[in-house]
Amino acid sequence: MGKIILSNPFPVNTYYGAEYFCDRDDETARLISAIRSGNSTTLLSIRRMGKTGLIQHTLLQLPLGYKGVYVDILETENLNHFLNVLATAIINSVPEKSKLGTKVWNFIKSLRPTISFDSLTGNPQAFFDIKGKEVELSISAVLQFLESQSFKTVIAIDEFQQILKYPEQFTDAWLRSRIQQLKNVVFIFSGSQQHLMTELFTSPQRPFYRSTQIMKLGKLNGEVYGTFIRSLFRRYGKEIDQGLVDEILDWAKTHTFYVQQVCNQVFAASDKKVTHELVKAQLHLLLKEQETMFFTFRNMLTAPQWQLLKAVAHEGIVYQPTAKHFLARHHLNASATVLRSLKTLQEHELVYTDFDDEGRLYYSVYDVFFQRWAEGR
């Protein structure tokens, strides 16, 4: 990837290179160390923490002799589609005119796809129209081709939980058995639906159980992130005080996407010097912009569910949602109702559970903006 100069240094949708990417040095080193040892990794975190960014960041820093292939399978609906995105990613990972490129192209063409060109990017895309065993054979052939190269390949499959929606049965068992035979190809699996990813990789009933090392991605270090944010403002000729940066990090709970989003808006709206009033106004605006969506969320819920969500929002983190003092403080009904509501809120992905550093389970509101909005109700 060539160097990209962004007009706003706080991207909120995708990875634009190391310059706009804060830290994750340890995580990158750990991924690379796993790759060097030939171990596949499953990268887990709650949504919008920076998994996809970390994968892109890592693939650009692979040691000599390694090639990275990134596939996002969110839009795939079956194994045929999976083959399409895999083959497409592979042909796009090497320049066509190079010696290796020719070899890769010739191989992919030998599988007889239709090649077309993306109307926006001009990048080639491979389409197959095959079924059943033939798809399996083609995917195996692609993996075998990579396996037999003089270089090593890292295949990162993002939104991997999507395979659970394929109509083909036992896709994970089949894929696991193929992958197990590879020595020259290492995988990184990730996905935004944490409960499904956890189920796929940590449930003993599942074929992928214990087949990869699990890596949990936590929040960025607040101090490091703060320094990074200030230096980006400065590089673009703007000034923001440490106190204001701390306020932003605190308000956005150091949750990467939300911090990026706030910084992006504050940066865009500010002149030379960022003021406290400006930050406050932007935070207010951010919530106002999304209010229609928040009303929709709220209308989905019954009164006890909404009551509970507000309570969790107010507390930030809740360890014991059925504890007497919690119920009393927020005027909540009996604990059985609370547990039932909690289950619904989790199913709607409005509330998530995670473990703190001491292994204690807690509940929190999933979307930071929604939390801040609900807190003010």
Ligand X SMILES: Nc1ncnc2c1ncn2[C@@H]1O[C@H](COP(=O)(O)OP(=O)(O)OP(=O)(O)O)[C@@H](O)[C@H]1O
Nearest to 309 by CA among 356, 360, 344, 258: 344
When CB distances to ligand X are compared, the closest residue is 50
Site for ligand X in 250-309 (CB under 6 A): 256-257, 260
80 binds Mg ion (CB under 5 A): no
CB under 8 Å to 202, separation ≥6 — which residues? 209, 214
d(CA 58, CA 165): 28
| Number of residues near ligand X (by CB under 6 A) | 22
CB of 255 to ligand X, least distance (A): 9
* Partner whose binding site includes residue 11, from ligand X, Mg ion, none (CB under 5 to 8 Å by kind): ligand X
Cβ atoms within 10 Å of 297's Cβ, excluding its own: 17
Return the range that interacts with ligand X (CB under 6 A); candidates 6-14, 114-122, 234-242, 336-344: 6-14
Is 52 or 125 the residue whose CB approaches Mg ion more closely? 52
Query: Hey, what amino acid is at 112?
Result: R
Is 49 or 279 the residue whose CB approaches Mg ion more closely? 49
* Partner whose binding site includes residue 50, from Mg ion, ligand X, none (CB under 5 to 8 Å by kind): ligand X
d(CA 340, CA 56): 39
15 binds ligand X (CB under 6 A): yes
310 binds ligand X (CB under 6 A): no
d(CA 109, CA 104): 9
Query: Hey, what amino acid is at 170?
Result: F
Helical H segments across the chain, by residue range: 25-36, 51-59, 79-92, 99-110, 132-147, 171-180, 194-202, 222-235, 242-251, 256-269, 276-289, 291-300, 303-315, 324-329, 335-347, 368-375
Which contacts of 181-184 are long-range, i.e. CB under 8 A and separated by 24 or more positions? 181/147, 182/143, 182/146, 182/147, 183/38, 183/147, 184/146, 184/147, 184/148, 184/149, 184/152, 184/153
84 binds ligand X (CB under 6 A): no
Return the range that interacts with ligand X (CB under 6 A); candidates 18-26, 87-95, 97-105, 348-356: 18-26
Instruction: Report how far apart, in Å, the C-alpha atoms of 179 and of each of 72, 187, 349 are.
Output: 18, 9, 31
**Binding-residue pattern over the window 136 to 175 for ligand X, x denoting contact by CB under 6 A:** ----------------------------------------
30 binds ligand X (CB under 6 A): no
Is 53 or 226 the residue whose CB approaches Mg ion more closely? 53
162 binds Mg ion (CB under 5 A): no
53 binds ligand X (CB under 6 A): yes
52 binds ligand X (CB under 6 A): yes
Return the range that interacts with Mg ion (CB under 5 A); candidates 50-58, 136-144, 169-177, 304-312: 50-58
Q: Which residue has the tokens 């204690």?
A: 360
Return the range that interacts with ligand X (CB under 6 A); candidates 48-56, 75-83, 121-129, 130-138: 48-56
CB of 217 to ligand X, least distance (A): 7
Burial of 197 (0-12, 13-18, 19+ CB in 10 A): buried
Return the range that interacts with ligand X (CB under 6 A); candidates 19-27, 100-108, 169-177, 247-255: 19-27
Binding residue for Mg ion, selected from 52, 56, 256, 282, defined by CB under 5 A: 52
Is 52 or 341 the residue whose CB approaches ligand X more closely? 52
Nearest to 155 by CA among 265, 235, 58: 58
Is 23 or 247 the residue whose CB approaches ligand X more closely? 23
d(CA 315, CA 311): 6
Where do contacts with Mg ion occur on this chain (CB under 5 A)? 51-52
Where do contacts with ligand X occur on this chain (CB under 6 A)? 11-15, 21-24, 45, 47-53, 192, 220, 256-257, 260
